[in-house]
Chains A and B, each alone.
Chain A
């Protein structure tokens, strides 16, 4: 059993949206729906300002609030720590959207089901990388098993001292270098 997670190096991200587009293709999303959102954040005081581009998607929280509030158990966590939505159970009540701290969920206009990043669970099962990771033009994304200290992702997290967006809000599994 693995505990899948990701590291995103925002210093490498150029904001090209390639990951977002590949994710939309992988999940057959229409143009106006996406699982990856881009945020910009300016810090510092002129002239020492830093402008970060931060791609945000489902953080695959441990003890995810969306899992506990989902009344139908449509949202669940796999043994490998991936948070998924069972399309055949979701009623579209949007409780999970309200409960998610990261604004990671989108309601499908077509089906009314609330969806989000799935870490491309079907690709991962075949030993492949999620679409956003393999597409990233600057290798800003690394995916792998957080429980394995020798995985690329674990090593990179240690090396760059990557941190979840809001570690104080609960354990999430996407680490950011900022």
Chain B
């Protein structure tokens, strides 16, 4: 593996950070009363992105020894990494500003927030394009991969925000059915995208077929099926569906309506789902990097 665990963590954190920012922007508009969730999203977002960037710097050994060289990162506009560096820089500025305003309890300038949202999306897309443009590795080189990464970024963003927010405001987390529905949709889309990608690429390319084989039946099959599919996707899909179903039922009885309104019920469900989504998000990126089979040249 040329790019290993560290880069997987960087891609994961960048996506998670972008997703958390978008989650908090959405929640701020849709559920103004859910302050805990909004604040959480806004604060974890720049922090996670910063950790991600630190990891990237750690992995770039020559730059680590000569930090001034990182300035050159902004120079090659043909390189997705250069474009991504701009996206991340702008996103980081906006996210740090938004977090600061939240801490100072001041009004956030809405244009800065719009810019932040835009660059959050751009950052999430970039993490997919970074490896998506590599023609030497057919399993990456598909149009589906960036979409998959964006969907996963949003879903991990929601998960990360909800997980942290649930520690100090479990009620708010429970009341946000809209977010739960979006989350369920994203997770289901992810399953669909993963298998579509595997199917389409393995039919069109032998190296990609090899990559898919190492994932579904080879070296990485255990972590793929148990870690990504079962824990990362099926489990949260099941729990979220169950909660949404339960909620609908609750509304049919008087006591239930009162309970739902009060946001009762433990946070166990939230903890399990959101953590497993996060685990799955990291595993997804790790596996895609690990299963890279380049085109044969001999």
Query: Which listed residue, B72, B137, B292, touches A71 by the CB 8 Å rule?
Result: B72
Given contacts A65-B135, A100-B136, A166-B297, contact A93 B59 (CB under 8 A): yes
Shortest Cβ distance from residue A10 to the other chain B in the assembled complex, whole angstroms: 10
| CB within 8 Å of A: which B86-110 residues | none
Q: How far is the CA of A92 from the CA of B65 in the complex (A)?
A: 10
B290 within 8 A of A: no
Closest Cβ neighbor of B76 among chain A residues: A73
Q: Let me know if B79 and A103 touch, CB within 8 A.
A: no
A89 at the interface (CB under 8 A from B): yes
A contact residues around B2 at 8 Å (CB): 94, 97-98
Map CB proximity to A onto B45-72 as digits: 1 under 8 Å, 0 otherwise.
0000000000010011111111001101
Q: Are B62 and A98 in contact (CB under 8 A)?
A: no
Verify if A72 is at the interface (C-beta below 8 Å from B): yes
**Interface assignment of B80: CB less than 8 Å from any CB of chain A:** yes
- Which chain B positions have C-beta within 8 A of A111? 61-62, 65
The answer to whether B136 touches A74 (Cβ under 8 A) is: no
The residue from A39, A73, A101, A107 contacting B72, defined by CB atoms under 8 A apart = A73
Known: A41-B298, A54-B298, A65-B136. A95 touches B69 (CB 8 A): no
Smallest beta-carbon distance A13→chain B, Å: 14
A→B interface (CB under 8 Å): 39, 41, 54, 56, 65, 68-74, 88-95, 97-103, 107, 111-114, 165-166, 169
Counting chain A CB atoms within 10 Å of each CB, the highest count among B60, B133, B135 belongs to B60
Q: Given A69-B79, A71-B76, A72-B73, do A102 and B3 touch, yes or no (CB 8 Å)?
A: no
Main secondary structure on A side of the interface with B: loop
Expressed in whole angstroms, the minimum distance between the Cβ of B10 and any Cβ of chain A is 11
Looking at chain B, what size class is its interface with the partner chain?
Answer: 20 to 34
Picked from B63, B79, B85, the residue with its CB within 8 Å of the CB of A92 is: B63
B294 contacts A91, C-beta separation under 8 Å: no
Bound-state Cα–Cα, A133 to B294, Å: 28
Contacts of B85 in A (CB 8 A): 71
Taken together as a complex, chains A and B put the C-alpha atoms of A95 and B133 apart, in Å, by 11
The chain A residue sitting closest to B83, CB to CB, is A71
Measured in the bound complex, the distance between the Cα atoms of B292 and A68 in whole Å is: 20
The verdict on A91 contacting B63 (CB below 8 Å), with A56-B297, A71-B73, A72-B73 known, is yes
Q: How far is the CB of B192 from chain A (nearest CB, A)?
A: 27
Q: Please indicate the chain B residues that have their CB under 8 angstroms from the CB of A169 in the complex.
A: 135, 295, 297
Q: Do the beta carbons of A107 and B61 come within 8 Å of each other? A: yes
- The minimal Cβ–Cβ distance linking A97 to chain B, given in whole angstroms, is 5
